[in-house]
Chains A and B, each alone.
Chain A
Amino acid sequence: MQPKGRRHPFFQGALDAAPFVIVLAPFGFLFGLVASEAGLNILQVLSFSILVLAGAAQLTAIQLLTEEAPTVIVIVSALAVNLRMGMYSAALAPHMGDAPLLRRAMAAYLLFDQPYALSSVAFEKHPDTPVVDKFQYFFGAGAPIAFLWYLTSLSGAVLGDKIPSNIGIDFALPITFLAVVAPMLKSSAHVASALTASIAALIFNFMPFGTGLLVAAFLALIVGATVEVWAEKRAART
C-alpha cells in the first residue's frame, strides 16, 4: 500500500485511483447528458449521482423509466445491478470491520467498483497495515473520484439542458454496458452467464413492466455459478 513507506495513505489511494479518471469522467458526463435528455432536471441528475454513486444502476433506472416501467420494477432492477457490492462489502469486512460505526458507514457509502478493486488488492498485499491507514487509503481511492462523478454528471446535465443533441440512451447504454462487461468475459462461466442473460432477456421480453429483465438476470446468475462449479470439478479431475 505504501511502497515508498512515507507517503500518506490517503494520497497513495488517490494516486492509485487517478488512472480511473479517464474512464469515469466521460461516463459521468454521458450519464448527465442522457438523463437530462430523458427528462430529468439538473437537481434530479445531481441527486441521483450523489445518492446512488453507481453509473450502471443509474443508467438502468433511466432506461426503465423511459420504458414506463412501474416504480417498484425500476428500483428493484437498479438494485439488482448493484448487488455485486454486497460481495465487495463481504470482502472488505475482515479488513475494515473493526472501526467506529460512523467510519464504516462512510466507507460503505464510497464502496463502488474502483475503491473496492484498489483496496482489496492493497489490503491483501499488506494485511498488517493499521486499520486507520486502511481507511485512509480507501477514502483516498474513493472520495476524489466520487467528487469527479458528481461534477461530470452535473456538467453533462447542464449541457444536455442547454443543447438538445441526439445521443439518446438507447445508443449510450449498449456501448457503455458492453464496454464494462466485455473485459469481464475471462472465463467460460462468465461468457455462459452473459449469453444466457442476453438470450433470456429477448425470450422474456414479452413480459410486462421490465420483469423479463429480472427473470433473465436470475437465470444468468444460476448458469454462471453452475458452469463455474462444473469447470472447477473438471479442473480437479485432470
Chain B
Amino acid sequence: MIEASTSQIWTVIIATGIGTFLIRFSFLGLIGNRQLPAWALRMLRYTPVAVLPAVIAPLLFGNGPNAMDPIRLAAAFATLAVGVSTRNVLYAIIAGLSVFIGLTALGG
C-alpha cells in the first residue's frame, strides 16, 4: 500500500505528466531539425532495456516480501522465454499469467 500523502501523489502525477510532455515535445517543438550527437541517440536507444530490468530485478531477486518466490520466478522465466522466442508482447504476458495462475492453483 502507498503511504504517501494525497498531495505527494498528485505532485508525482502532475510532475511526471509535465516532464513526459517536455521530453516528447523536445525536438518536435523546440530543437527542430538540429541533430542530436550520435552518442546521445545511441544511449537513448537503450533506455527501455536499461531501466525496466533495473526496476524488476530487485522485486524478483532482492529482499522484498515476495522476492525469490519460486512461482513468481517461474512465471517471470516463462514470460522472458516466450517473449524472446516469439517477439510478441501479448503471448509473453499470457505465458507469464498462465504459469502464475496454474502454479498457484496447484500449490494452493
Q: Can you list 22 contacts pairing A with B, beta carbon distance less than 8 Å?
A: A48-B17, A52-B16, A65-B8, A66-B1, A68-B3, A71-B12, A75-B11, A82-B19, A82-B20, A86-B27, A87-B45, A90-B36, A93-B32, A108-B29, A174-B75, A175-B75, A182-B80, A184-B49, A199-B57, A202-B61, A205-B63, A216-B54
Select the residue from B2, B51, B84, B92 with max chain A CB neighbours within 10 A.
B51
Hey, which chain B residues are within 8 Å of A171, CB to CB? 66, 72, 75, 100
Residue of B2, B28, B100 near A175 (CB, 8 A) is B100
User: Which chain B residues border A38 with CB–CB below 8 Å?
Assistant: 1-2
On whether the beta carbons of A86 and B44 are closer than 8 Å, the reply is: yes
Does A148 have its Cβ within 8 Å of any Cβ on chain B? Answer: no
CB distance from B33 to the nearest CB of A (A): 6
User: In the complex, how many angstroms separate the beta carbon of A231 from the nearest chain B beta carbon?
Assistant: 12
Q: Is A54 a contact partner of B54 (Cβ separation < 8 A)?
A: no
Q: What is the CA–CA distance of A78 and B90 in the complex, to the nearest angstrom?
A: 23
**Residue from the list B3, B19, B88, B97 in contact with A79, Cβ < 8 A:** B19
Interface size on B, residues (CB 8 A): 75
- Is B70 interfacial (CB-CB < 8 Å)? no
A8 CB-CB contact with B under 8 Å: no
Report chain A residues within 8 Å CB of B43: 221-222, 224-225
B44 touches A84 (CB 8 A): yes
- Residues of B with Cβ closer than 8 Å to A? 1-4, 8-21, 23-29, 31-33, 35-36, 39, 41-66, 72, 75-76, 79-80, 82-84, 86-90, 92-93, 96-97, 100
Chain B's closest residue to A181 (CB) is B52
Are B49 and A65 in contact (CB-based, < 8 A)? no
Closest 6 CB pairs of A and B: A182-B83, A51-B17, A220-B50, A224-B46, A179-B92, A108-B25
**B76 interface neighbour in A58, A65, A83, A174, Cβ under 8 Å:** A174
Which residue of the partner chain, among B20, B39, B58, contacts A57 with CB atoms under 8 Å?
A: B20
Q: Give Cα A20–Cα B26 distance, bound, in whole angstroms.
A: 26
- Min CB gap A15→B, angstroms: 19
Determine which residue in B11, B29, B43 has the highest number of CB atoms from chain A within 10 A of its CB, and name it.
B43
Please, how many angstroms separate the alpha-carbon atoms of A58 and B25 in the complex? 19
Contact A39 B1 (CB under 8 A): yes
CA distance A224 to B21 in the complex (A): 26
Known: A182-B83, A201-B54. A79 touches B4 (CB 8 A): no
**CB within 8 A of B83: which of A65, A85, A183, A198?**
A183
